[in-house]
A and B are shown apart, each in its own frame.
Chain A
């Protein structure tokens, strides 16, 4: 992963990118600045957690699908077992995804989690249990998304490799079959 956005193309979905970043930045900014303006912890808590939850929803449902073509969710099947499902676009569309979009997606995803960890450490040092609660909730939401999408991406890569080797094997066997049938 490089530090700079890939050159050349522009963002393919600027509005989605904007929203992807908006709620993350909003939650962080509110958390930092609120101490200056608000006395009440309740407002800080509710607004920060609300923004984090909205960010979670946006990333999971909107920017994940559009920017990187990945999606994950949980289902309960007929046996009553919970199943985590991971999906990705087919390979052509994946290859056509805008590189800048996906760079932004992954970088902001990891970066916010790191920043929340820093804030968590600060509030731990200062023994502020209630701020730790806020940070904890936001952090867990970020990590949930990171875990979900990373698993999704790994699964996608594995799937592509499996598929490629499978198709090579199929092709091989059908070549052999046609060779034998020609004999």
Chain B
């Protein structure tokens, strides 16, 4: 009696459908046939689209690349929200791919551009987030630095009357390797900063120097050049200061900051000296 009842008691709703799900998935993986697109049976909650253990593959970053432009791993974070639905990406692989992927690429472009602008504002202009540098450049991207370095190289090259190609190549190589070396310097001093974040920061801090170089290109007066370069140099250094100094041990602040200032000063000289 009780025995019989227990025999016939059906499994509760969710386990039954879970088992259905599991059977379906086993069929997929075992036979690897493409079943027709059935609507998934009700509670799919137990089977996340991109299962969580998968997400935290915190693999070490790919091997360090020499040129700074290289890991232009630019718009990483933006893609999550590119799924139209603002869901935390860790749980939703793609959300519903077809809907968001028919969304034009233009939207992704716009989002990336706005990220560049917001990063620029965070780094170079006074704002309340500068007090907490770790949070400020959380959304690093390398597109901004890439554009600024290329722009600086182009401006310098344009201002030069001879050897334009070499000026460009030298400027680009100097800035790129300089950024990498400065980052390594901070890391080797025991600082806590992420490689790409620091590259991104140093690139964005070039913005004032870009402006200075542009002005110097347009007006060829030596005194004006010196003044402009000094002002923009001070601006760049002020922009870079909190991020670098917070990253290292206070006793080593000067050791970390000095090379950065040195690099910007040498870029400043390059701007003044070009004719």
B and A form one assembly: yes
- Whether, in the assembled complex, B194 has its beta carbon less than 8 Å from a beta carbon of chain A, the answer is yes
B26 touches A75 (CB 8 A): no
B26 touches A164 (CB 8 A): yes
A95 touches B54 (CB 8 A): no
- Whether, in the assembled complex, B69 has its beta carbon less than 8 Å from a beta carbon of chain A, the answer is yes
Assess A159 versus B168: contact at CB under 8 Å? Given A49-B69, A69-B94, A69-B97.
Answer: no
Task: Give the interface size class of chain A.
Answer: 35 or more
Bound together, the chains give a CA A141 to CA B55 distance in angstroms of 24
Q: Name the residue of chain A whose CB is nearest to the CB of B102.
A: A66
B28 touches A91 (CB 8 A): yes
Contact with A along B102-131 (1 / 0, CB 8 A): 000100100010000000000000000000
- Whether, in the assembled complex, B13 has its beta carbon less than 8 Å from a beta carbon of chain A, the answer is no
Assess A144 versus B65: contact at CB under 8 Å? Given A41-B165, A167-B22.
Answer: yes
Assess A46 versus B66: contact at CB under 8 Å? Given A41-B165, A76-B194.
Answer: no
- Whether, in the assembled complex, B76 has its beta carbon less than 8 Å from a beta carbon of chain A, the answer is yes
- Whether, in the assembled complex, A83 has its beta carbon less than 8 Å from a beta carbon of chain B, the answer is yes
Contacts of B41 in A (CB 8 A): none
B165 touches A130 (CB 8 A): yes
- Whether, in the assembled complex, A74 has its beta carbon less than 8 Å from a beta carbon of chain B, the answer is yes
Q: Which of A167-183 contact B (CB under 8 A)?
A: 167-168, 170-171, 174, 178, 181-182
Task: Give the interface size class of chain B.
Answer: 35 or more
A90 touches B72 (CB 8 A): no
Assess A87 versus B34: contact at CB under 8 Å? Given A62-B105, A73-B79.
Answer: no
B79 touches A57 (CB 8 A): no
Q: Which of B1-39 contact A (CB under 8 A)?
A: 6-7, 11, 15, 19, 22-23, 25-26, 28-30, 32-35, 37
B73 touches A73 (CB 8 A): yes
Assess A42 versus B154: contact at CB under 8 Å? Given A90-B50, A174-B15.
Answer: yes
A133 touches B58 (CB 8 A): no
Bound together, the chains give a CA A53 to CA B70 distance in angstroms of 9
- Whether, in the assembled complex, B51 has its beta carbon less than 8 Å from a beta carbon of chain A, the answer is yes
A83 touches B19 (CB 8 A): no
- Whether, in the assembled complex, B263 has its beta carbon less than 8 Å from a beta carbon of chain A, the answer is no
Q: Name the residue of chain B whose CB is nearest to the CB of A66.
A: B101
A174 touches B94 (CB 8 A): no
Contact of A133 among B7, B56, B67, B194 (CB under 8 A): B67
B70 touches A86 (CB 8 A): no
Bound together, the chains give a CA A86 to CA B79 distance in angstroms of 12
15 A-B pairs with CB atoms under 8 Å apart are A42-B153, A45-B169, A73-B77, A76-B140, A76-B194, A81-B194, A84-B57, A85-B56, A86-B55, A89-B97, A95-B34, A133-B172, A151-B57, A159-B53, A174-B15
Residues of A within 8 A of B (CB): 40-42, 45-46, 49-50, 53, 56-58, 60-62, 65-66, 69, 71, 73-76, 80-93, 95-96, 130, 133, 136-137, 140-141, 144, 147-148, 151, 155-156, 159-164, 167-168, 170-171, 174, 178, 181-182
Which 10 residue pairs across A and B have the least CB separation, nearest first? A73-B76, A140-B70, A41-B165, A164-B29, A42-B168, A90-B49, A167-B22, A82-B194, A159-B54, A83-B58
